[in-house]
Amino acid sequence: MRARTILAICLAIAACGIAHGQIPWPGPGGAGATQARARQEKPQGLYVDVSYDLDAPQPQPGPAPPFFNCPPTEVAPVIDGHLGDKPWQAQAAASGFVLPDGGKPRCQTQVWMAWDKNSIYLAFRCEEPQVDALVGRRGELDRDISADDYVAVQFEPANNLGRDGYFELRLNCRGGQWDARTKRPAAPADPAAWDPAWIGAVQIGDGFWSAEIEIGFKQLGARPGGVWGINFLRHRAAGDGEGISSWVAAGSFGWVMMGRSKLVLTGLDFPRPLWGKNNIKLTFTSPSGKIWITTQPQPLAAGTGTTITTSLSGGTSVRTVPVTLQAPGTGRVAIKVRGPRQWTHLPTWWMPWEYSMGIWVLESIAASRPRTLMSFSLPYELPPLLQPGRPRLVNLGGRNFIRVPLAINAELQWLQSLKWTVSLAPAGAKPRWRGQVGKLRAAHAILDIELPDLKSGPYTVTIYARSAGKLLAKSQVQLQIE
């Protein structure tokens, strides 16, 4: 009786397993046949041969935006168009304006900038040998002055740097004002969307005309401090009317640092980045001392930052800090510079020695914790990692291959740490063939993928890039097999 019970239980368990497909049934329609079909549908192997185009130019970081440091002013200038105020004598001018084609305009422009806790101040000096031919009239606010002789400034406040848009102020040679906010991506300027209160004044001199502008931080929805995006423009209609010239190419921005710290950032070099390791070069003018510099991509998944500890010897010091970027599109790199705290010790000679010793210990602990000297963020835009070329069929030694040229926008050392794979599938279907590429040694590679026996029709080649098992990027190309 007991043996029958055990046998019945075993049979019941087996029946449940067959019903749920956990135990193969040898019949043509059982779970065993399903598993056999799954094994048959597993992607098959591909042979991939790799060669390199070493004559092709290797990817390089793009040019860094121009940068200048703008300390605060203790005396606000009088906005009357005359450039004799103290702030303009103390600050260095931004110059070297260029035309849209990269050439130099015949009449150059200089710009000075200052700020205090309330406002930003700007001064322009525009060379003009034909001041009698200046074009412009004073009219109602936001009247179109795009055909006049005018100067302009475009702001990207620190809290909006590289994000959804910028502010623009224009002032023509007769004092006519125009302002607008332009939103990204590529939306037209809308004067009605932003109506700030700001002051502008101009003066016409002998062989030049000058302008001054004042606008409050509140009108820009920002606070002083940090790194701002900025560009200065001039439209020349007088004389031969050479049109727009600008400090940075129109549509781009330079950077200005508004800082109050004794540690002064006088140089900032962050070239347009590539995938992988990028270097940010910082130039300081400061007293001697120890500092900590930290970089961190934002969002955090966009890459990895680092912290370096260094000592400044006083005067001018240049430090390079790396940051690794590995996510396409726009992002920001947060930079923080910290230094030791400066403490004034309390007089403790009149206290009992137990109390004075305790205060000394607490002050020493507090002084060992660094304080933030400056903190700012820099925008960047990372291109796609992979740029595959047009695939084609080739015959090598009597064997058919799919040839895919591949350009990779990455720093070489980081590129060599990635692992690459490819897959092939009928268009719209899951991959049926996979192949290992391994590691690539150069940024311009040629993948020759051996062609299996295929029916005619459209096929998709997919290229994958992985780092430490994580998929970083993939790119697909289409191919028609006849």
Over residues 88-98, the pLDDT tens digits come to: 988 888 999 99
Question: Which pLDDT value is given to residue 195?
Answer: 86
- Scan for tokens 């302009």, then name that residue: 152
Using alpha carbons only, give the angle 370, 373, 377 rounded to the nearest 5 degrees.
115
Q: What's the 3-state SS for the chain?
A: CHHHHHHHHHHHHHHHHHHCCCCCCCCCCCHHHHHHHHHHHCCEECCEEEEECCCCCCCCCECCCCEEECCCCCCCCCCCCCCCCHHHHHCCCECCCECCCCCCCCCCEEEEEEECCCEEEEEEEEECCCHHHCCCCCCCCCCCCCCCCEEEEEEECHHHCCCCEEEEEEEECCCCEEEEEEECCCCCCEHHHCCCCEEEEEEECCCEEEEEEEEEHHHHCCCCCEEEEEEEEEEECCCCCCEEEECCCCCCCEEEEECCCCCEEEEEECCECCEEEEEEEEEEEECCEEEEEEEEEECHHHEECEEEEEEECCEEEEEEEEEEECCCEEEEEEEEEEECCCCCCCCCCCCCHHHHHHHHHHHHHHHCCCEEEEEEEEEEEECCCEEECCCEEEEECCEEEEEEEEEECECHHHHCCCEEEEEEEECCCCCCEEEEEECCCCCEEEEEEECCCCCCEEEEEEEEEEECCEEEEEEEEEEEEC
* Cα of 241 vs its chain's centroid, Å: 36
Over residues 314-340, the pLDDT tens digits come to: 788 899 999 999 988 888 899 999 887
Over residues 249-285, the pLDDT tens digits come to: 988 899 999 987 788 899 999 999 999 999 999 999 8
User: Does 14 have pLDDT greater than 70?
Assistant: no
8 Å CB contact between 423 and 461: yes
CATH superfamily of 264-381: Immunoglobulins (2.60.40.10)
Q: Which residues is 463 bridged to in the sheet?
A: 422, 475
Q: Sheet containing 198-204: give its strands across.
A: 109-115, 119-127, 208-216, 198-204
Question: Which pLDDT value is given to residue 36?
Answer: 34
Average pLDDT, the chain: 83
Fold (CATH) for 71-258 = Immunoglobulin-like (2.60.40)
Q: Sheet containing 457-467: give its strands across.
A: 44-45, 433-438, 419-426, 457-467, 470-481
Task: Work out the average pLDDT over 189-204.
Answer: 84
Q: What is the CATH number of domain 45-59+384-481?
A: 2.60.40.10
The reply to whether 71-258 shares the fold of 45-59+384-481 is yes
Using alpha carbons only, give the angle 217, 119, 268 rounded to the nearest 5 degrees.
80
Sign of the CA dihedral 366, 368, 372, 373?
positive
Over residues 355-404, the pLDDT tens digits come to: 566 666 665 655 556 788 889 999 998 999 999 999 999 988 888 899 99
Over residues 97-125, the pLDDT tens digits come to: 999 998 999 999 999 999 999 999 999 99
Q: How far apart are CA 38 and CA 429, in angstroms?
A: 16
382 φ/ψ angles, rounded to the nearest 5 degrees: -105, 125
8 Å CB contact between 375 and 335: yes
User: Does 197 have pLDDT greater than 70?
Assistant: yes
Contacts of residue 236, Cβ cutoff 8 Å, sequence gap at least 6 = 105, 107, 126, 128, 149, 242, 243, 245
* Cα of 480 vs its chain's centroid, Å: 38
Residue 133 vs residues 78, 236, 433: alpha-carbon distances, Å:
27, 10, 72
Q: Label residue 334 left, alpha or beta by phi (over 0 means left) and psi (-120 to 50 means alpha).
A: beta
User: Does 165 have pLDDT greater than 90?
Assistant: no
Residue 149: name the closest of 242, 249, 252, 248 by CA.
242
Q: Is 432 or 178 the better-scoring residue by pLDDT?
A: 178
Q: 437: which 2 tokens?
A: 């590429």
Contacts of residue 275, Cβ cutoff 8 Å, sequence gap at least 6 = 325, 326, 382, 385, 408, 409, 410, 411, 414, 415
Domain ranges of the chain: 45-59+384-481, 71-258, 264-381
Question: Which pLDDT value is given to residue 20?
Answer: 43
